[in-house]
Structure 1
Amino acid sequence: MYFQLVSTLLLIYIGTLTLYFHPLRKYPGPILAALTDWYELYYNIVKGGALVTEIEKLHKFYGPVIRIGPNTLHFNDRRAYHDIYTNGSAFVKEPGFYLSFIAHASQGLLATCDPGEARIQKTLIQDHYSSQDSGFQMNLAYRSVAMDLITKYCFAQSADTLVPGFRHPTQRSIEDFFKRIWFERHFPFLTGFACKMPRTLVGWLLPRFKSYIDMKAALEHQIDRLKRNPDLISLAEHETIYHRLLNPKNQVAPSRKMLVDQAFTLIGAGSDTIGNVCTVGTFYALKNGTISQKLTMELYEAWPDGSKPLSLTTLEKLPYLTAFIKEALRFSIGVIHPMPRRANTTEEIAGYQIPPGTIVEMSTVFLHMNPDVFRKPYTFDPDRWLTEDADKMNQDFAPFSKGPRMCIGLNLAWCELYLILGNMFRKLNMKLHDRETNQRTDFDRGIKSDDLVPRWHWEDYTVSVAPFSETKLAST
């Protein structure tokens, strides 16, 4: 009885401080969100990744700034995005978020919160089927292509995930990561727990972690082999990330764990997001015949002999292909979940004075779907990027984030997108299966869940493909 009384009084005391005396008390939002961070847990796990959808509803009700945690503000104001991320020298990554949701690679660049350490790591890495009657899932195919590209580029050794059915174990490990991401975010100790358990027991108790344990073991084997025999690095067909990471100039060599974590980060970030962009872009291009026709015509005129390779430089100069890729990037969002930053000092964000220690964030969805910048934002329209007044859109175009912590692989990502989509629409005639064409594809009704990146109701769509036909092109 005494314990219950003390517990009740303590909760009342904490609640009173949080609601009436906290520096963020003037900002509106749900009372439960002001009292506990478990408000986020509820929408991430219980509601299956519905936090961003709920945030959108809250902004419509409360206004441009809402309190979604005891010490967290979310903004829906394009000025706020640039204040937090583009000009973000005063804001650092929030450790409570980054060290938990990516607990499996806590020493990788993505999880590095200290700006100085991030600059060091960034410098190390930067410096150097065919039947009309059969079909396959494009999301699996695109993710496999992206996986092979990123592993070949980073390690000079492809993961070879382009297997029948596109269900290679390495690809499944990335899928499993996104399925368990919110468990890692809210219960990060599970990752360490899984690493200490026998593999057979992991498969029984924590099946979503089994592919991670297997992939971790494979990367550790590769790294141990290189560290035992450094001459193997020189035998690679081109420079890899290990050339820099294992032999840093004027810096302490990274630990075995950091090497593994960096490899995990590069593989995950370089495959799933690119696969998502290609999946989204192809779906809308095939659903809207005008888009696919414009793409194919432009590519055919620039690349009449499809049997010969076309340079990346030439692809980059094609205006409609570029506009199509930008629209696919805008629509697919990139990372949909708000990425938190912590204010070290009193800062001004979109005209609001924010006290030090406050966690601030803004999901890119509110930037990319802003009707004041993107006319009819929920319509997939590559032509919007070919207008003369595209400057404002380019300013708010942030699929790779902005500022000092923007995606380190954005240039590689652009290369992948030009090469993958350029080759697909030049060399193949693709057609959505009939059942796909009648699905609702509104953006706001298309997102199924927030797994850090958006998951779509229709992303498992299938297509039939045939070799490119000039006769068919002439008839369209």
Structure 2
Amino acid sequence: MLSISVTAFVAVLIFLLYCLIYSPLYTSPLHKIPGPKAYAITKWRLALDDYRGVRTRSIHALHQKYGKAVRISPNEVSFSSLSALKTIYGAGSGFERTDFYRMFDVYGRQNLFTFAGVKQHADRKKLLAHAYSKSAILSPNAIAKPLIERNVNSYLELLEREKCVSEEIFQSLHWFSLDSITGFLYGDQHGGTRALRGDLEHRALLYDIMDPSRRLLSWYGVHLKAYTKWLYTRTGLMERIVAKLGLLPMKKPAIYTGIRAHALKAWTGFKTTTGPENFSTTATAQDPSIMQKLWRYSQSGKGDLLDGLDIASEAADHSLAGIDTTSDTLMFAIWVLSLPVNKIYQERLIREVDNIPVVDCNAEGGNPRAEVADKLPYLDAIIKETLRLYAPLPASEPRSSLVDIEIDGYLIPAGTVVSMSPYTLHRNAEVFPEPLKFDPERWLNEDCVEMKKWFWAFSSGGRMCIGLHLAMAEMTTLLAAIYRRYTTSECKRQRGVSPGITSRFEVFYDESQPRFKILMATGA
């Protein structure tokens, strides 16, 4: 009896060793791809990097050691070449988003960001693409341009009205991006916020977003999905026990709660005042909000029917995508221009915005108009360089193919997760000399064509960031207005300390600074 038990134990052990070690290292179709063995045999090695907040930097270091293709888990490969970029993310590539993105579903409904299938994504994008086009964003008759210019005026008024704002810009820039994206999505009447104008309830929508513990919750949500769902769905006595034991990775309300609740509230208010009896397919509003555009489509009888939760999910997702990304980039731009070593760049920007004729400024506030700020070459170079060094979403963007495919000479079986990151692409020293140095003038050289091929702050192909032109209009218009009126300098307490932002599982900062500090809702 004992010998049978021992034999069974040995058989199970051999089977496990084969499946967990021998097969990943020697028989897997990915075994020829270089990389550390610890990453190849278990997904938890990369998950450990996620937990420690160093995933992206670790993968970058692996590329520097092993080359343009690195195996980072039993079923995931990271690439860092232009050829791989075109194959995976190029238009018509056939690669789909992985289940990772389902953590961004809202109210149990998928949206533009979480659709895996190419057709699903393309069909939804068709409904929204024109509203986000550059011509629509900068049109004087559309919703975005006057909204952004009004918010720029409000931001500068805020600087004058609340002294603490000029000393700590992290929160106030979030208010600016919040008011801009909600006004664009919902319109002023049905969900547009007034955080810049002092509305405390609207400012409170951002508290959970700016809580650094969001990083830990993201980790649990991806790597321990079922357990995390169980934790946050406890009620009554069990909820109190879970909270008392400190098991929650982030205290309730969890991340995005405020913004998602606001989106649902905005939809409910819109639906109440815009019922079928008030709807007309010949409505003549010059440029309705995104919510109104989706509502009109849902009532048109064309294509797949969108119900209220679909519309609210779409709006909530766009809102979340448009807050941190824009505000964090603006913060880094102002911070890096304020460093003494970069004074020359700030002075050149000031000269550029000072030369804008009064006729190209708004009568109200006297700030450069959005379409004028959009055409400033030096400002554009500063934003590009800021996005290169401090991309707000610098981590891997996972994809998978439904068929076997070859990438950079390696056979990638169907279902394998492949990924690339802006962080690594933007730090290629052969393309960007002195890659950790902030140098906006590199974008003004005649030989910057190659750099533009490697610039990936907004992704590429059919999945490229739909809010690109809205974000750029917000950033160029606000920065042009600030540096036309002010100069900026670092605070004494900030010397030698880089701001740090939370993105997914990680904290990103300027690696050239000896220290960094995570910014929180209470300031830093």
Q: Residue in 2 aligned with 1:172? A: 207
Out of 159, 176, 181, which is 1:145 matched to?
A: 176
CA change 1:214–1:137 in 2 (3 A) is: same
Report how far residue 378 of structure 1 moved. Answer: 1.0
Deviations 1:63-85 (A, max 9, x none): 22111111111112233223221
Deviations 1:21-71 (A, max 9, x none): 1110111222232222222221112x1x21111112222332221111111
Q: Residue in 2 aligned with 1:473? A: none
Deviations 1:437-461 (A, max 9, x none): 334x6xxxx8787536753225649
Note the 1:47-446 alignment, pairs <5 A: 47=52, 49-87=53-91, 89-95=93-99, 97-100=100-103, 107-128=110-131, 129-130=159-160, 136-156=167-187, 157-162=191-196, 163=198, 168-176=203-211, 177-178=214-215, 180-189=217-226, 192-193=229-230, 196-197=233-234, 201=239, 204=243, 206=248, 207-211=250-254, 212-231=256-275, 239-248=288-297, 249=300, 250-287=302-339, 288-303=342-357, 307-439=365-497
CA change 1:247–1:336 in 2 (3 A) is: same
Aligned residues: 454
CA distance in 1, matches of 2:295, 2:388: 36
Report how far residue 196 of structure 1 moved. Answer: 4.4
The letter for the 2-side match of 1:17 is S
CA change 1:158–1:243 in 2 (3 A) is: closer
CA distance in 2, matches of 1:116, 1:453: 32
Q: Residue in 1 aligned with 2:146? A: none
Report how far residue 342 of structure 1 moved. Answer: 0.7
Which stretch of structure 1 is more off in the superposition, 176-185 or 108-117? 176-185
TM-score by length of 1: 0.84
TM-score by length of 2: 0.77
Report how far residue 221 of structure 1 moved. Answer: 3.1
The letter for the 1-side match of 2:451 is M
Give percent identity, aligned residues only: 26
Out of 37, 44, 49, which is 2:50 matched to?
A: 44
Report how far residue 194 of structure 1 moved. Answer: 6.5
SS of corresponding position for 2:296: coil
SS of corresponding position for 1:210: coil
The alignment yields a C-alpha RMSD, in angstroms, of 3.3
Deviations 1:264-288 (A, max 9, x none): 2111110101111111111111112
CA distance in 1, matches of 2:289, 2:403: 40
CA distance in 2, matches of 1:105, 1:451: 20
Q: Residue in 2 aligned with 1:467? A: none
CA distance in 2, matches of 1:317, 1:21: 55
Deviations 1:201-243 (A, max 9, x none): 4894644441544543343233233334424888999511222
Q: Residue in 2 aligned with 1:455? A: 508
CA distance in 1, matches of 2:90, 2:168: 36
CA distance in 2, matches of 1:354, 1:113: 19
CA change 1:88–1:11 in 2 (3 A) is: farther
Tell me, yes or no, if structure 1 residue 21 matches structure 2 residue 21. Answer: no
Report how far residue 149 of structure 1 moved. Answer: 0.5
Deviations 1:164-200 (A, max 9, x none): 9999221123234555222222233466547745599
SS of corresponding position for 2:96: strand
Unaligned 5+ runs, structure 1: 462-476
